[in-house]
Structure 1
Amino acid sequence: MFLRRFRMNKPLFERIVSTIENGVPYFRQRRDATGRLGLSALQKCSAAICMMAYRCPANAVDEYLRLAETTAHKCLEKFVDGVIHLFGDVYLRRPTTEDLQRLLHIGEQHGFPGMVGSIDCMHWEWKNCPTAWKGQYSRGSGNPTIVLEAVASQDLWIWHTFFGPPGTLNDINVLDRSPVFDDILESRAPRVTYIVNGRQYNMAYYLTDGSYPNWATFIQSITLPRGRKAKLFVQFQEACRKDVERVFGVLQARFAIVENPALFWYKGKIGKIMRACIILHNMIVEDERHTYNFYEPSEFHHGEESRTHHVDLSYSTDRQTNLHNLIDIRNDVHDIQMHDRLKKT
């Protein structure tokens, strides 16, 4: 019952409340001028999570938690800021070398050596978009939306997020603004090598739909597969690519505030709410991984001898970040010939 109401297990909820109470002064219980105790951290956090999970109005928690409308709004804003500040570095991090080793192992088990997840975009409707911005955020006769770009793995962990582009942009336009390849371009990403049919590659890739370009870092499905080999590839590729679609569905099911139109006037507050929902989603994924005895990340730290991938424990610091090296790395990322060769093998 607690899991159904609060979208998470009780020990995880208690850990979040305790951490926020100690890290954010607003959630500490105080006494007023008459000596009476004020609202507790449990009441304030419960109000914030109820508003995120059910998208209920701020005045709907008055009788249940004894909070006024303005107090409930403030609890939501302070809770979102606390979650981002206290948990963002851990639960919305870039993949480390250990994470890459595990992701590459999972990708190889699913028939895609070198695959580290799938990438796609989702639109969140913005009901109270300013009138002056509606033409920028509305596509055709539709409602204004804000785009979320995300990279997810098979266990529904979200590894990368980019939120904020207007809804008129398609996936390619969002990709041009996205920082998803910044670590690679700036030579801060770990070295990744893997072998496919006897040929060695040194750049991991994502599974995408047909709207993304034919780069070395993207592998799409085949539009009209002909032959047994092509049909088998399409079957496996489309099955694994659905991981990011599942993430969007689970995220909207857990937090109704993301599924329904955003009611806030300020885009900055909407972005913080989306970021906090993603962090809480990753915390729930980690908690359920241990609760329901899913695989442990330590199982992939020491892979089998038959694996074809390798992650260097040291970062790529041998290439200086200058204009010449930046152009060379960018050309490697956009290599169409490598994309075709990898896709055909």
Structure 2
Amino acid sequence: MLDNIDCLHWKWKNCPNAWRGQHLSGDKGDGPTLILEAVADYRLGIWHAYFGAAGSNNDLNVLYSSPHFKDLLDGVALIDFTINDHPYHMGYYLADGIYSRWPTFVKTFNTLQDPKRILYTQRQEADQKDVERAFVVLQARFNIVKTSSRMWYANNIADIMYTCIILYNMIIDDEGPREANFFDEDEAGCSTARSPTRRGVHTTVRERSERRLTIRDTKAHIELQEDLINHIWEKFGHELCFF
């Protein structure tokens, strides 16, 4: 698992009337917004941020327009790991249900009847809240992000957001590392290895197209999810409690 991905809506109070329609969201009844897509780790640090998408988009539309998977398409961000003796070559993010069934995303289930899936969902949801907590802490540290933006220009709003995220990460680094609340990969039977980087290497259109299909392989998503379900059950099945 790499980290957690989610989106945050920032209300835009002084959005021009000509743009207001495209910044209104059906489930956000508090006016026009701009969207922040972010990836946060267990320390609540934000190491990927893409800001500026119109509020009428959902999380999936924002993902399609963001450069988040550019390095993966270029063959830079490849990670080799093994679960249940099955090799994989891309890290995955914990995400909510709106994201597509790609091997780069791991989601929960809507219906829970199998004890294995119940345990898997419990642990996935517990870790997936890291990005939501990061949003709360970011807004708590910087009131300008918590309240509605009064800027007129979207570029100025983006500068404020990115500046706050940079300062936020500097504060986290200054506070020092905290002990991670997860098990040792070696003890769990998972092995990981980052592939050599290929920065500066030219990638052809065909290579990028093939990687794009690999990223969106639904079958690989299902296989990874099943392997994770079985792996978590073998490791933590004895901890499952029914209430």
Matched, 1:161 2:49: yes
Tell me the alpha carbon deviations over residues 194-239 of structure 1, each in whole angstroms, 9 at most, x when there is no partner. 1100111011010000000000100001111211100000000000
**Residue aligning to 2:131:** 244
Q: 1:266 aligns with which of 136, 143, 153?
A: 153
RMSD across aligned C-alpha pairs, in angstroms? 1.9
**Residue aligning to 1:64:** none
Aligned residues: 220
Q: Give the partner amino acid of 2:64.
A: D
**Residue aligning to 1:201:** 88
Structure 2 CA distance, aligned partners of 1:318 and 1:261? Answer: 41
**Residue aligning to 2:17:** 131
**Residue aligning to 1:179:** 67
- SS of aligned partner of 1:330: helix
**Residue aligning to 2:110:** 223
Q: Normalising by structure 2, what TM-score?
A: 0.86
Structure 1 CA distance, aligned partners of 2:168 and 2:67? Answer: 21
Change (3 A) 1:318 1:123: closer
Contact map agreement 1:118 1:151 (CA 8 A) in 2: yes
Contact map agreement 1:152 1:159 (CA 8 A) in 2: yes
Tell me the alpha carbon deviations over residues 264-307 of structure 1, each in whole angstroms, 9 at most, x when there is no partner. 111111100100100011011111125xxx249xxxxxx96965
Structure 1 stretches of 4+ moved >3 Å? 303-307, 316-320
**Residue aligning to 1:151:** 39
Structure 2 CA distance, aligned partners of 1:317 and 1:209? Answer: 31
Q: Quick one: percent identity of the two aligned structures?
A: 42
Structure with the bigger percentage of helix = 1
1:117-128 paired onto structure 2 within 5 Å: 117-128=3-14
Matched, 1:284 2:171: yes
Contact map agreement 2:11 2:30 (CA 8 A) in 1: no
Q: Give the partner amino acid of 2:25.
A: R
Where does the alignment leave 5 or more consecutive residues of structure 2 unmatched? 228-243
Contact map agreement 1:130 1:265 (CA 8 A) in 2: yes
Contact map agreement 1:205 1:219 (CA 8 A) in 2: yes
**Residue aligning to 1:235:** 122
Q: Normalising by structure 1, what TM-score?
A: 0.61
1:39-118 paired onto structure 2 within 5 Å: 115-118=1-4
Where does the alignment leave 5 or more consecutive residues of structure 1 unmatched? 1-114, 297-302
Q: Give the partner amino acid of 2:204.
A: N
Structure 2 CA distance, aligned partners of 1:341 and 1:319? Answer: 31
Q: Give the partner amino acid of 1:134.
A: R
Structure 2 CA distance, aligned partners of 1:183 and 1:128? Answer: 35
Task: Give the CA deviation at 1:316.
Answer: 3.5
